[in-house]
Structure 1
Amino acid sequence: MTTELPLFPLHTVFFPRMLMPLHIFEDRYKVMIEYCLRHSRPFGIVLIRSGHEVGGPAEPFDIGTRAEILRVIEMEDHTKHIIVRGLDRFIIRELRETEPYLVGEVEDFPLITEGVDEALLARVEIRFYRYLRLLKEAQGLSITINNLPEDAEGVAWMVAWGLQVDLAERQGLLSLPRLQDILLKEEALLRKEVEILQMLTLEQVKRRMPPAEMGYLSFN
């Protein structure tokens, strides 16, 4: 069964349970947000496959995340700052342009959560904390996460949000049907990213050390 959902195509991937600020300045999206507020409805955030966020039409990927509006701040220039929270995933079955904004006929795309390997989950958590530490050391990018969620699905979406990989990889994570497969993919991505960050960190340390001491450096 399909339902109508207003769509907001963006050059970003939005994950369930995550929070995101949005600046609403185009008239068509002001209309959309007013509609959602008036009817207490979510809208869908989808990654742009081709086209642009501003101006002309954008072709989105098929799978996106419903967004619940938590807060709206009206600005003096008549734009809006909003905070949204990711709800669940959907898959677009049909697109319509009957409104100023894009509308999709969508179906739910529930996550299959059975069969999660607890050992895999633990490895992902450990690798993710290590990744965040190396990310700060190598690139100066600080992502503060005091505690990961207690459930496997929450961990998976938090890791997906925190991974600084390209949009195709992020969309790939959002599109996987099974939680186990998401965690497996995240473990592989984390392993790869940690190796890259270790090499960057090692190079930075080498540049700061006297040549005579470089032979002692190793991550093994």
Structure 2
Amino acid sequence: MPDNDSDNPTPFQLTSDDSLVDDDSSLDDFEIDLSDVEPDGLPHGRSMAPLDEPDPKRRPRIPDLLPILAIRDTVVFPGTIVPLTVGREKSKLLVADIVKGSKVIGVVAQQRGEVEDPTLDDLYRVGTVVTVLKKLELGDGSQSIIVHGLTRFGIEELTQTDPYLIARAHPREDTFIETTELEALIETAKRLARRVIELTPGVPEEALTIMDNIAKPGSLADFLAANLSLEIVHKQEMLETFDVPERFRKINKALATQLEILELSNKIHSQVKSQIDKTQ
């Protein structure tokens, strides 16, 4: 099965039709294009738009026993809104029960996307607790759910495998102390991200506004990590990095690499264009 990241050549994937949803907004009119999708994963080319973190008093309670949706070739980060396609029978049964009861589940990436019936050994041990905002029926018989990432969690064990996975889970929170070093890491990330956005075709201007309006360090790090075009193993590594300064170090390294590639690509393009112009 194709890797979603490998199908997206642009380093920063925020697209102009992504929208922000307030906690109090109605989702009845929330629409998203699901014409190009992979079963149990992200639609190709979709990015993840941030949501303001909900008031802890209003946040759904995270149960000790958490229904698990295994997804392929993508990682969901806290604070993002993501459409996920559901194609496997176990996943459909899970979604059916979600609609009837609690809207809170755990989303965990598979270590190997080709595994059709994943067990504990096939899953990463850290995922994201999400609340399901909406369910959509797709024309090919599959379904899609739109989820809002709440917080990281760790899997202790699976307590059920049929009709779908249920895990004993515990929350994993960000850790950081506000220091001048963290402030410098954040400013570096913003500077690199601005330059990457400027050099990446098709990224809307609102991306910069969104980035600048995210106040919490961990939320900003997750927004950047979610929208970088990285292999799943590297995104999962960032999800599993609970120390926020360390997460920013990894993000800054990835941003610097992608910026270098973009600048080199632009330089080559300019040289080729100049040579073509001279021959005409």
Normalized against structure 2, the TM-score is what?
0.67
Partners of 2:99 and 2:219 in 1: CA distance: 27
RMSD after superposition? 2.3
Partners of 1:210 and 1:76 in 2: CA distance: 49
1:8 maps onto 2:69 in alignment: yes
Kept in 2, the 8 Å contact 1:21–1:82? The answer is: yes
Kept in 2, the 8 Å contact 1:91–1:106? The answer is: yes
What's the CA shift for 1:105?
1.3
Distance 1:51 1:191, change over 3 A: closer
1:72 maps onto 2:135 in alignment: yes
Normalized against structure 1, the TM-score is what?
0.84
1:17-36 pair list within 5 angstroms: 17-36=79-98
What's the CA shift for 1:76?
6.2
What's the CA shift for 1:78?
5.4
What's the CA shift for 1:77?
6.1
One-letter identity of the residue aligned with 1:173? M
Percent sequence identity over matched residues? 23
Q: Partner residue of 2:148? A: 85
Distance 1:147 1:56, change over 3 A: closer
1:45 to 103, 107, 111: 107
Structure 1 gap ranges (5+): 214-220
- Structure possessing the higher radius of gyration over alpha carbons: 1
Moved more, 105-114 or 94-103: 94-103
Deviations 1:22-57 (A, max 9, x none): 22233321221122232223111111113536x333
Q: Which has the higher helix share?
A: 1
What's the CA shift for 1:165?
1.4
1:95 to 143, 149, 158: 158
One-letter identity of the residue aligned with 1:99? D
Distance 1:190 1:76, change over 3 A: closer
Partners of 1:151 and 1:70 in 2: CA distance: 23
What's the CA shift for 1:180?
1.2
Partners of 2:168 and 2:231 in 1: CA distance: 28
How many residue pairs were aligned?
207
Structure 2 gap ranges (5+): 1-62
Distance 1:29 1:17, change over 3 A: same
Deviations 1:158-200 (A, max 9, x none): 1001111111111111001211111111111111111111111
